[in-house]
Structure 1
Amino acid sequence: MEILTVVAPVFGARCSVVVGPDRSCVVVDAGAGVGGQVRALVEGRGLRPRAVLATHGHADHTWDAPGLAAAWDVPVVLHAADAYRLADPFGTLGVLDPRHDPHGPLAQALGAAGVDVGAWQPPARVEPFGSASDARSADALLAWDDVRLVARHAPGHTEGSTLYLLDADGAAPTVLSGDVLFAGSVGRTDLPGGDDATMAATLRDVVATLPPDAVVLPGHGPATDVRTELATNPYLARAR
């Protein structure tokens, strides 16, 4: 499978277009301001979109998901524990909610990108996976034609944060890590639904058990790999 990247203007969130051999594709993390670029990319390459996925429900990873899903008549897919966030993605951001802090970092980023905070419309079709009540759900195999991903529940940043693992013909997987793992850091745990102890357990029991040569494409910032993070990431070191 091929992975194409579009970087959102809001917080530099990574949006990934995962393309199967048959030209089917899914879009992962359609953040604020990527919709036009993603549609042009998909249409220019003659791709067939099947779903819009989210690694978690924060607005900087989901804002353009409803519009893309509606344009293509496909579902928005994310872990059941974060599905509630799609009703009001700003209302679940606590201190970052731009309606409560009109001069805060998210409000400024949205304004610079020309995003209307009041324009949110929840997606018409949502297809959650996993369990909203389990501390950690079992892996879910998500498949659309030739696009196949393993969704691995990795709570801590949010309740439903998820790693998407893509097999590479028997080689080590590529991991779309959202805001669970960054190069040299991890996602914050001080927003609603975040939890330090849960994140530490995820780092120890989920992230640290990934294949060392797995490539990691974080939700923000540069790519990395599991071996490098095990050796240098201070948050992983403390969690182990």
Structure 2
Amino acid sequence: MLVVGFPTGALQANCYLIAAGKGAPCVIVDPGQDAADAVAKAVREHGLSPVAAVLTHGHFDHCFAVTPICDGDGIPAYIHPDDRDLLSDPLKGVSTDTAAFFGGKLQMREPREVRELADEAVLDLAGLSITVDHTPGHTQGSVTFRCDTEEGGRLLFAGDTLFAGSIGRTDLPGGDVRQMASSLRTKILTLADDTVVLPGHGPTTTIGRERGTNPFLAGLEEGSEDSTAQGPLRGL
């Protein structure tokens, strides 16, 4: 399996391309700000053919380039219905400071073809089987994507739900600390320790490493929801 990842834009959100191998169809995960050129370069370098773009949530740093990429290649975009409105109203989901940074103006529109994601749906794309888990907390429509490799590995594209040493912030419009705690407890901590986590920002990690060292996860397996209030959160 081929996974190509790189940070994009002012907020350095991670974009990923996943495929069975070089010269194969691929899925684009979270094509954010300034991602179009980097995606095109990776596609050429590895001989890939994009078939879809899938979005972990609707914040613009993860989906700003989805429309030019999807419409340019005639491919669909997948997003949870609870975040779909952010594709055409990106400032709706950000803080006032972030909005001010961009001058209060940030124009986007939906791609021509948008397909809505459902919890526990299994997407058959590019010869890959991708499981969708609805993980509200950072936004109402946040999801993660799980995919097994032919070599026996497990991958989790975590968006802004889980990071190395942190979790997504819950103080933005649509965020909810209790929903985040529930998502982490029921959808993240249930995964195998050897699952490789490819987050929306920052370096890769594993479920086992985060289970043992991430302060935000402490106590969640026992049902506590207080640990998500500790320390600095990440995300837009």
Per the TM alignment, residue 97 of structure 1 is displaced from its structure 2 partner at its CA by: 4.6
**Structure 2 match to 1:228:** 209
Q: Say if 1:28 and 1:54, in contact at 8 Å, map to a contact too.
A: yes
Per the TM alignment, residue 125 of structure 1 is displaced from its structure 2 partner at its CA by: 1.2
Per the TM alignment, residue 47 of structure 1 is displaced from its structure 2 partner at its CA by: 1.1
**Structure 2 match to 1:149:** 130
Per the TM alignment, residue 119 of structure 1 is displaced from its structure 2 partner at its CA by: 4.3
1:92 aligned partner, one-letter code: G
Q: Say if 1:53 and 1:77, in contact at 8 Å, map to a contact too.
A: yes
**Structure 1 match to 2:228:** none
1:10 aligns with 2:49: no
Name the CA shift for 1:140/1:170 in 2 (closer, same or farther; >3 Å). farther
Q: Say if 1:24 and 1:147, in contact at 8 Å, map to a contact too.
A: no
Q: Say if 2:90 and 2:107, in contact at 8 Å, map to a contact too.
A: no
Structure 2 unaligned blocks of 5 or more: 222-236
CA RMSD in angstroms comes to: 1.8
Alpha-carbon distance in 1 for matches of 2:132, 2:159: 12
Per the TM alignment, residue 118 of structure 1 is displaced from its structure 2 partner at its CA by: 4.3
Q: TM-score, normalised by structure 1?
A: 0.86
**Structure 2 match to 1:113:** none
Alpha-carbon distance in 2 for matches of 1:189, 1:34: 25
Secondary structure class of the residue paired with 1:220? coil
Q: TM-score, normalised by structure 2?
A: 0.87
1:205 aligns with 2:205: no
Structure 1 unaligned blocks of 5 or more: 109-115, 131-136
Per the TM alignment, residue 85 of structure 1 is displaced from its structure 2 partner at its CA by: 1.4
1:69 aligns with 2:70: yes
1:87 aligns with 2:78: no
What is the number of equivalent residue pairs in this alignment? 220
Q: Percent identity?
A: 35
Name the CA shift for 1:72/1:96 in 2 (closer, same or farther; >3 Å). farther
Alpha-carbon distance in 2 for matches of 1:145, 1:55: 18
Alpha-carbon distance in 2 for matches of 1:40, 1:218: 22
1:6 aligned partner, one-letter code: F
1:123 aligned partner, one-letter code: P
Q: Say if 1:95 and 1:191, in contact at 8 Å, map to a contact too.
A: no
What does residue range 154-193 of structure 1 map to in structure 2 within 5 Å? Answer: 154-169=135-150, 171-193=152-174
Cα deviation, 1:79-115, whole Å, max 9, x if unaligned, reads 12211211211222242452xx24xxxx39xxxxxxx
Cα deviation, 1:9-59, whole Å, max 9, x if unaligned, reads 321110000112460101000010111111121133221110011110000
- Which of structure 1's runs of 4+ aligned residues deviate more than 3 A? 116-119
2:117 to 129, 141, 148: 129
Per the TM alignment, residue 153 of structure 1 is displaced from its structure 2 partner at its CA by: 1.1
Alpha-carbon distance in 2 for matches of 1:53, 1:117: 25
